[in-house]
A = this chain, B = another copy of it.
Amino acid sequence: MDRILIGELGQHVGETVLISGWVDVRRDQGKMVFFDFRDRSGVVQGVVLPGSEALETAKEARQEFVVSVTGIVNKRPEKNAQAEKQNGDIELEVTGVEILAKAQELPFEKDTEINIDTRFDYRPFTLRSERDRDIFTVQATILDAYRASLKRQGMTEFVAPALVGGDAEGGAAVFKVGYYYDQTAYLATSPQLYKQIMVGVFERVFTIAKIFRAEKSATTRHLAELTQMDFEMGFIKDEFDVIAALETAIRDTVTEVAKQHADIFKRFKIDVPHLGTKFPILTLSEAHATLGVPAEDDMTPEHERAICEWALKEHDSDFVFITRFPTAARAFYTKTAEGKLSRGFDLLFRGLEINSGAQRIHDYDEMVQRIEERDMDASKFAFYLQAFKYGMPPHGGCSTGLERFTMKMLDLPNVKEASAFPRDMNRIDILLSKPID
């Protein structure tokens, strides 16, 4: 008999079928055994009736055992049906159980709340919890929908390198790699320079790139290894063209996640992100004025949260753009708008910056001048500067943190929860030996 997915059982009422999956739950009632079986498409309740030939094996099959099950798909009596639940109106009357793989005794109940370090210590097991399956189901949809939106906007995907020859941008702490012949390479802290080079080739490009940050930071917002969804576009008028393209990508993504995963938002007991009619755009000084606080050169985490509350209240939007940060506070390639203010912007989502972008300098001489003004060595940028030497259009772009976007989409308390295999100061899969100093 061919295997049928659990999600398709509703179409086979009255038939004898074969399913395969894990024992999600087992309730042994002596003469009868109840199961929840789980496969990639969902969950269904199974029952082994008294006297069934399957009873002996059923009693052996504990949680997380991998099984193939034959049974008859029965309609549940009206009074027992659970309309809210997948397969809530059917039940599998189990006639045979084959054990494909055993499971040892579980370290703890799969769906109990446990502290985050234990969760990561047992990651191969805890990822099977409904909560984690939900998180990474949403993350897969974010990746897919974001890419699809950028593609529709005429952008070409490219592969940015993770190994780089120098810590070009400076600033962010960087991991060193032992390269051939005792030379040192570095792990990329951003695909930025390559993205700009590719604007010279394809005009509009995107990349989903790994980046690495060695900051000694152990907050709920930091990871040592991250995934960035970057795009960059040529022939813009100014940074507001980038902001418009980004708003489209975010709207498309949220809309798709909401469409596919209403059940997950319900389980997480949070609203689908509010999109308003248009994301509000405030300059940094307007943001501070709105909050009634003194002007500063950046937003504090507290002010980021407060301005998002304002945006939700006044514009029904969980997203808000902040523009006109001081040029001095932004990366060297950021274009100046007027005076000391830049064409850089941030996108805040539910109180957290999830994207940073800007119009960039495109003129070769201006770029060299800026590099020198910052006391950086222009000769170290010779490769990158070729793109500007040989004709670069006005352009800009931005970078969305996949883990932060996922975190805020489901309102998770810690960004590490949005990384299947988080790396931080103290952990690569397992806790590293040395304690925090």
Contact = CB atoms under 8 A, between A and B. Distances in A.
Contacts of A390: 64, 103-104, 106, 124-125, 128
A224 to B, nearest CB: 7
B39 A203 contact: yes
Contact of A227 (B125, B159, B181): B159
Contacts of A106: 390
B20 A163 contact: no
Contacts of A66: 391-393
Given A40-B202, A428-B165, A101 B391 contact: yes
A383 B123 contact: yes
B175 A156 contact: no
Interface stretch (A131-139, A257-265, A299-307, A310-318): A131-139
A383 B198 contact: no
B156 A140 contact: yes
A35 interface: no
A161 B423 contact: yes
A176 B175 contact: no
Given A180-B216, A183-B434, A428-B179, A136 B201 contact: yes
Contacts of A384: 124
A193 B392 CA distance: 43
B151 A212 contact: no
Interface in A94-140: 100-104, 106, 122-125, 127-128, 132-133, 136-137, 139-140
Given A106-B390, A177-B187, A124 B383 contact: yes
A198 B389 contact: no
Interface string A225-254: 101000000110000000000000000000
Contacts of A275: none
Contact of A100 (B3, B383, B394): B394
A102 B187 CA distance: 33
B175 A125 contact: no
Contacts of A147: 144
Contact of A165 (B20, B235, B429): B429
B183 A433 contact: yes
B224 A163 contact: yes
Contact of A204 (B40, B102, B224, B425): B40
A398 interface: no
A161 B421 contact: yes
A127 B178 contact: no
Given A139-B159, A151-B144, A386 B175 contact: no
- Number of identical protomers: 2
A231 to B, nearest CB: 13
A194 interface: yes
Given A40-B203, A387-B124, A394-B100, A159 B235 contact: no
A353 B157 CA distance: 25
A162 interface: yes
Contacts of A421: 160-161, 194
A22 interface: yes
A303 to B, nearest CB: 30
A402 B159 contact: yes
Interface in A10-54: 20-23, 39-40
Interface in A414-437: 419-421, 423, 425-426, 428-430, 432-434, 437
Which of A20, A160, A387, A392: most chain B Cβ within 10 A? A392
Contacts of A389: 103-104, 125
Interface of A: 3, 20-23, 39-40, 64-66, 100-104, 106, 122-125, 127-128, 132-133, 136-137, 139-140, 143-144, 147, 151, 154, 156-165, 175-183, 185, 187, 194, 197-198, 200-204, 208, 210, 212, 214, 216, 224-225, 227, 234-235, 362-364, 382-384, 386-387, 389-394, 402, 419-421, 423, 425-426, 428-430, 432-434, 437
Given A102-B364, A140-B158, A175-B177, 12 more contacts: A22-B391, A40-B204, A101-B392, A106-B390, A124-B383, A133-B201, A136-B201, A143-B159, A175-B178, A176-B178, A177-B177, A179-B428
